Amino acid sequence: MTTLLLGISVNIYAQENNMLSKKQEKIVIISSFTARGELEKLKPELIAGLEAGLTVNEIKEVLVHLYAYSGFPRSLRGLQTFMSVLDERKAAGITDNWGHEASPVTDTRDKYERGKEILSELQGITPPEGRETAGYAGFSPEIETFLKEHLFADIFERDVLTYAQREMVTVSVLMGLGGVEPMLNSHMNLSLNVGITPAQLQQIINIIEINVSKENAEAAKVVLHELLQTKGLSTETKISEMVNGVKIEKVSFPNRFYNNVAGNLYFPPNYDTNKKYSAIVIGHPFGGVKEQTSGLHAQKMAELGYITLAFDATHYGESGGYPRYIESPEARVEDFSAAVDYLSNHKNINPQAIGVIGICGGGGYSVSAAQIDHRIKAVATISMYDMGRARRQGLGDVITYEQRMKTLDDIGEQRTKELGGAARKDIAAIPTQLSDSDTENTREFFDYYRTSRGGHPNSTTSYSYTSLAPMMNFFPFAQIETISPRPLLFIVGERAVSAYFSEDAYSKAAEPKELFVVPGASHVDLYDRPEYMGISLPKLNSFFKQYLK
C-alpha cells in the first residue's frame, strides 16, 4: 500500500487485514456499551460510528444481533438511543447513509437445517446428520431449536453484516459483559474460522481495556492466549506498521486517574535495540486526535532519529475517560506526565532526554505540564493556544467581563438541568458547514478538520458545553518562569491570529527561550503544509539536538 505524506512516498508494510478498520473499531465499542446498558457512553460512539462510515442499517443490525447475547432490554434501549441520535442529526441538517436492507431469504429448506449448516460453516466442519442430542441439546431440545432456527438461521442469514462482523459483535458483547469465558472461547474460535486474525482479536481486547473494563480485558487475554496455544498460533499480536522506515506501534498506558491513554509509538529508521534514544511526547490540538498533525510530527521527528509518542487526550479518540468529549485541563496536563511515565520506563529511552511538543491547544497544556514535571527536559510549542484565555476572553480578547459572567451563569443552569435528566449540551468547535459570516480563521480550521486534508473519524471537534467553566479557570503561564533553566521554543506563523498567545508566554518565560516565526505561515499552515514544515522541522531538530543530550 502506498500513500502520500508531505509529498513523500510512504510505504506501509503491515497487512491491512491485520488491523481493525475504524468502522470495525466502532462496531466493537457500540456492541460492548449497548450490552452493558451504558447509554451515555453509547451515544457519542453511535455518532462516531456514522462518521467513520457505518451505515444506519449496519448499526441497526449490530444492535439487533446482540439481543441474542445480552437480551431484548439492552437491544431495545440501544435502538432507542440510536433513534434519538438520528433525529438530532436530521434536525441539524445531517443526512446519514442508510445503506442496503437485508436481502429476501429464498432458501425454502427447513429452518433448523439451514441454521445447522450456517453454524457448521462458522465452525469449519461438515454438518452432522439429524438433530443434536448431546449436552445442552439433549437436556433442553427447545433451546437447541431456538439456537439453530432463530439465531443461526433468522439472524445470521441476514446479509447486512458479514459472518466476521457478526462474530466481532458477539465477542465484543461477551467481553463487555464478562464472566462468560467459555462462550468467549467458543466465539473467538469461530472468529478465527471466519477470517478475524489473532492480532485483530487482541486489538478488540485492547479497545475493551481502554474504553470498557480493564478486568474484563484481562480475562479475555487469558482466553485468547489459551485458544491460540491450542491451535499452535503465535500469541505475539502487537499491532504495528512501517512508514518510511519508521516502525509505528500501538501502545496504551494509565494516567493518574487510572484512565488508559492510547498512543502510537514511533521508532526511528534502523532502530537499534542496544542503544538509548532521546524521546519526544507530542500532544495534539484541542479537538484533535493522534492520527492528525501530532502523528505527522511524530512521524517526521522519528525520521530524524528520535523515539516519539503521539497520544489521544483523555476523553477523546481511542483513549479512555468518561463522559466522552469533555475538556478537562487537569486531565490534559496529566496526560503529558503519563506519557513521560511510559517513556521513562522504556528500555531504549534515556529518561534524562525526554522532551515535549505541544501543538495548538496541546501547546498550552504542555507548558503547564513542564512547570510541575521536571522530567520534561525541553518544551517546544507549535501555533500554541492558551485555551484558558481563549475561553475567558475569546480569540483576540473580544469577550467582555459581563459576557463571561453571563456564560458562567448559563453553565450553572445547564449543569442543574443535566443532573435533572436534560440532554447534554455540546458545542461543535468547528462547524460542519461554512456560512458567509464565517471568519478566515474559521475557514482555515474547517479546511483542515472537515476535509480529507486532516479530517479523521475520531476527531469530532465537539465537546460538552459545561467544559467551558474549567477551561476558563485554566492559566497555563502562571508559573512559566519556573521551567527555567529548561529551554522553551515557541514556533508561530507570521500570519497566525493566535500568535499573541506565544508572544505572551515568551514574555513571561525565563531564559533560555526563543520565539521562532515562520514567514508567511498562518496558524493551521504549521499543522501539515510542506513548505512551512520544511522550516519548522529543522528548527525543532536543532532545538532538541541541543537540549536532549
From CA 410, how far away is CA 541, in angstroms rounded?
46
DSSP 18: G
CB 524 within 8 A of CB 443: no
Domain with CATH 3.40.50.1820 in the chain: 241-390+473-547
Per-residue pLDDT of the chain (549 residues; tens, 9 = 90+): 333 333 322 222 233 346 788 899 999 999 999 999 999 999 999 999 999 999 999 999 999 999 999 999 999 999 999 999 999 999 999 999 999 999 998 888 888 889 889 888 888 888 787 787 777 778 988 888 888 888 888 899 999 999 999 999 999 999 999 999 999 999 999 999 998 988 889 889 989 988 898 899 989 988 998 898 888 875 454 567 889 999 999 888 989 988 889 899 999 999 999 999 999 999 999 999 999 999 999 999 999 999 999 999 999 988 888 788 899 999 999 999 999 999 999 999 999 999 999 999 999 999 999 999 999 999 999 999 999 999 999 999 999 999 999 999 999 999 999 999 898 999 999 988 899 999 999 999 999 999 999 998 889 899 999 999 999 999 999 999 999 999 999 999 999 999 999 999 999 999 999 999 999 999 999 999 999 999 999 999 999 999 998
Residue 519 is predicted with a pLDDT of 98
Residue 238 is predicted with a pLDDT of 58
- Residues whose CB is less than 8 angstroms from the CB of residue 449 and which lie 6 or more positions away in sequence, other chains included: 287, 288, 430, 455, 459, 461
**332-347 burial code (b ≥16 CB/10 A, e <16):** bbbbbbbbbbbbeebe
Classify domain 17-102+158-231 at the CATH superfamily level: AhpD-like (1.20.1290.10)
User: Degrees (nearest 5) of the Cα angle 519, 521, 527?
Assistant: 135
Residue 8 is predicted with a pLDDT of 29
Q: What is the pTM of this model?
A: 0.72
Class of the CATH domain delimited by 241-390+473-547: alpha beta
Q: Which fold has domain 398-467?
A: Arc Repressor Mutant, subunit A (1.10.10)
- Residues whose CB is less than 8 angstroms from the CB of residue 5 and which lie 6 or more positions away in sequence, other chains included: 243, 244, 296, 299
CB atoms within 10 A of CB 215: 11
Which three cell numbers mark 77?
434501549
- Dihedral through CA 368, CA 374, CA 379, CA 385, nearest 10? 0
From CA 410, how far away is CA 404, in angstroms rounded?
10
Kindly tell me the burial class for residue 55, based on how many C-beta atoms sit within 10 Å of its own C-beta (0-12, 13-18, 19 or more).
middle
Between β-strands 307-311 and 260-267, what pairing exists: parallel, antiparallel or unpaired? antiparallel
From CA 248, how far away is CA 243, in angstroms rounded?
7
From CA 513, how far away is CA 485, in angstroms rounded?
9
Using alpha carbons, list the distances in angstroms from residue 71 to 36, 142, 186, 207: 11, 18, 19, 23
Domain with CATH 1.10.10.800 in the chain: 398-467
**Of 204, 249, 224, which is closest to residue 14 (Cα–Cα)?**
249
From CA 151, how far away is CA 155, in angstroms rounded?
5
Domain with CATH 1.20.1290.10 in the chain: 17-102+158-231
Residue 115 is predicted with a pLDDT of 87
Residue 231 is predicted with a pLDDT of 84
| Dihedral sign of CA atoms 227, 231, 234, 238 in order | negative
CB 168 within 8 A of CB 188: no
**275-285 burial code (b ≥16 CB/10 A, e <16):** eebbbbbbbbb
Residue type, 166: R
3-class secondary structure, 343: helix
Adjacent-strand bridge partners of 515: 490
Between β-strands 240-243 and 246-254, what pairing exists: parallel, antiparallel or unpaired? antiparallel
